């Protein structure tokens, strides 16, 4: 009988995408996926290291797996992902119930690793650098769970070395994929019914540039070229991407986003800090003026565009005044959404050598202030959308009330509505917003 596997994913969308490739590879090798880890013969945790809290979650789960494995002795238990890459060797030595560890660049070898454990042969640890970004197998998708939206990783790794960030150390050098193979992957997904594609990478706007320095000439953006090629695919309705680094936003990219209707008008543009001094210490090669220039240029071309961001509070030496600059920039841009993180020193990074001198309670306080600002802004923004009409890409019925369906606007707002006729996930439906809460819009189907 075929063995069943379960992959539990922590961390970012790139990890989700990697879990999907690993699952597709395991399925192709005859293993069966299961949603229930308690009936799985093979359990793999796909881990994240970006903040201490992310690692603690995985460590907690490692403890739980000890108990599960004590009852199910035949079970194979493995680790993949960023924490596997950074701490795999140590974990394999100290955790007897861990069978194998696969690094971020060896996803294609997961079926082999499982087979070797089953046969009692071979190595338990594979942290080798570095598969190419086009290694066969890592572009596979699970076709049994495919929906109307899908992820495509367009590059691997990161060469930016922001001083706080562990990603370049755990994901390796930046490698862009061949654009033709990305477009082919997108076409294949569309043949399977996909309507919306999210392009993934830690530094997507630097796609195809190699080691090109930031602050590009106005007319050079291989990423913009890629967006245009993907937009030509018939049947594809929407293109999103995450994360673009502001330093690579030039005129060509801005104009492409504005001009191409399939590119969603909701841009995630990580700010990190609103203080030029702190940005410099973070090794983020842009200043607030450049950031605002990108926002204002896009807004001038596309007035309805929305922005979301990432910011870090309590970076070493951040003063109250500098924190207030971040708060000010966030209010000036008027972000529709923001991921606010308390600085967490990561071993091996440049900022880990700086004194983590902003006390935890100050970080917490700054975090709360920004969250409250965000909530107030979301409240008033959503209220201002009542009466407007939007086209939703339908996600499906809500779990609690199957009569109520939900979908997303091009600007990534979630709206719920009661369908008038037969609809399915992936359909486009026009609604008029009749009511709003901070997180949700309520629409009525128009026509």
Interaction site with ligand SAH (CB under 6 A): 50-51, 164-165, 167, 202-203, 243, 245, 270, 272, 310, 312, 341, 343-344, 346
Single out the residue of 167, 236, 253, 312 in contact with ligand SF4 (rule: CB under 6 A): 167
CA–CA separation, 34 and 233 (whole Å):
33
Residues 387-406 that bind ligand SF4 (CB under 6 A): none
Task: Please count the residues of this chain forming the interface with ligand F3S, following the rule CB under 6 A.
Answer: 14
Give the C-alpha separation, 216 to 210, whole Å. 12
Q: Is 171 in the site for ligand F3S (CB under 6 A)?
A: yes
Q: Does 158 bind ligand SF4 (CB under 6 A)?
A: yes
226 touching ligand SF4, by CB under 6 A? no
Comparing C-alpha atoms, which of 129, 300, 268, 116 is closest to residue 201? 268
Which of 203, 221, 273, 275 contacts ligand SF4 by CB under 6 A? 203
d(CA 331, CA 222): 32
Place of tokens 């680094």: 245
With CB atoms as reference, the residue minimizing the distance to ligand F3S is: 11
Q: What does residue 375 show for φ and ψ, rounded to 5 degrees?
A: -65, -40
Q: State in angstroms the smallest separation of the CB of 247 from ligand SAH.
A: 10
CA atoms within 13 A on the CB side of 268: 19
Question: Which residues on neighbouring strands pair with residue 7, listed in sequence order?
Answer: 44
Which of the listed partners (ligand F3S, ligand SAH, ligand SF4, none) does 48 bind, with a CB threshold of 5 to 8 Å by partner kind?
ligand F3S
Nearest approach, Cβ of residue 245 and ligand SAH (Å): 5
- Does residue 14 belong to the site contacting ligand F3S (CB under 6 A)? yes
E-assigned strand segments in 266-367: 266-268, 306-313, 337-342
Residue 165 CB, nearest approach to ligand SF4 (Å) = 3
Task: Write out the E strands in 19-60.
Answer: 32-33, 42-47
| 378 touches 439 (CB < 8 A) | yes
Shortest distance in whole angstroms from residue 136 CB to ligand F3S: 22
Q: How far is the CB of 245 from ligand SF4 (least distance, A)?
A: 5
- The DSSP code sequence of 218-258 is TT--HHHHHHHHHHTSTT--EEEEE---GGG--HHHHHHHH
For ligand SF4, the binding residues (CB under 6 A) are 158, 160-162, 165, 167-168, 202-203, 245
For ligand F3S, the binding residues (CB under 6 A) are 11-12, 14-15, 48-50, 54, 81-82, 166-167, 170-171
């Amino acid at each position: 009988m075929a063995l069943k596997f379960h992959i539990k994913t922590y961390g970012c969308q790139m990890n989700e995408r990697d879990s999907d490739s690993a699952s597709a590879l395991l399925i192709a090798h005859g293993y069966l996926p299961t949603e229930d880890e308690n009936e799985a013969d093979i359990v793999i945790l796909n881990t994240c290291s970006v903040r201490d809290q992310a690692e603690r979650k995985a460590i907690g789960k490692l403890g739980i797996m000890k108990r599960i494995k004590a009852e199910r002795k035949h079970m194979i238990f493995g680790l993949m992902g960023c924490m596997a890459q950074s701490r795999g060797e140590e974990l394999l030595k100290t955790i007897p119930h861990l069978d194998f560890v696969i690094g971020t660049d060896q996803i294609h070898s997961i079926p082999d690793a499982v087979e070797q454990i089953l046969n009692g042969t071979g190595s338990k640890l594979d942290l080798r650098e570095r598969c190419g970004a086009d290694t066969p197998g890592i572009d596979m998708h699970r076709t049994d769970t495919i929906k109307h939206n899908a992820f495509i990783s367009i590059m691997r790794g990161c060469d930016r070395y922001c001083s706080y960030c562990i990603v370049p150390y755990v994901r390796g050098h930046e490698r862009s994929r061949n654009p033709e193979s990305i477009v082919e992957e997108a076409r294949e997904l569309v043949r399977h019914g996909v309507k919306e594609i999210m392009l993934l990478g830690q530094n997507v706007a630097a796609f195809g540039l190699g080691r090109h320095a930031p602050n590009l000439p106005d007319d050079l953006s291989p990423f913009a070229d890629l967006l245009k090629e993907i937009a030509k695919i018939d049947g594809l309705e929407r293109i999103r991407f995450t994360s673009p680094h502001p330093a690579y936003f030039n005129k060509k990219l801005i104009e492409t986003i504005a001009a191409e209707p399939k590119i969603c008008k909701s841009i995630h543009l990580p700010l990190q800090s609103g203080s030029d001094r702190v940005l410099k210490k973070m090794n983020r090669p842009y200043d607030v003026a450049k950031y605002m220039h990108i926002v204002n240029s896009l807004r001038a071309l596309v007035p309805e565009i929305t922005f979301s961001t990432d910011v870090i509070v309590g970076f070493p030496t951040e003063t109250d005044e500098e924190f207030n600059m971040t708060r000010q920039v966030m209010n000036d841009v008027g972000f529709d959404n923001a991921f606010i993180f308390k600085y967490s020193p990561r071993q091996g990074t440049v900022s880990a050598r700086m004194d983590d001198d902003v006390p935890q309670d100050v970080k917490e306080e700054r975090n709360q202030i920004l969250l409250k600002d965000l909530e107030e802004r979301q409240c008033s923004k959503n209220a201002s959308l009542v009466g407007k009409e939007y086209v939703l890409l339908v996600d499906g019925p809500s779990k609690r009330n199957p009569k109520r369906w939900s979908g997303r606007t091009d600007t990534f707002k979630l709206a719920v509505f009661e369908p008038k006729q037969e609809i399915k996930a992936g359909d486009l439906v026009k609604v008029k917003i009749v009511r709003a809460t901070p997180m949700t819009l309520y629409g009525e189907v128009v026509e």
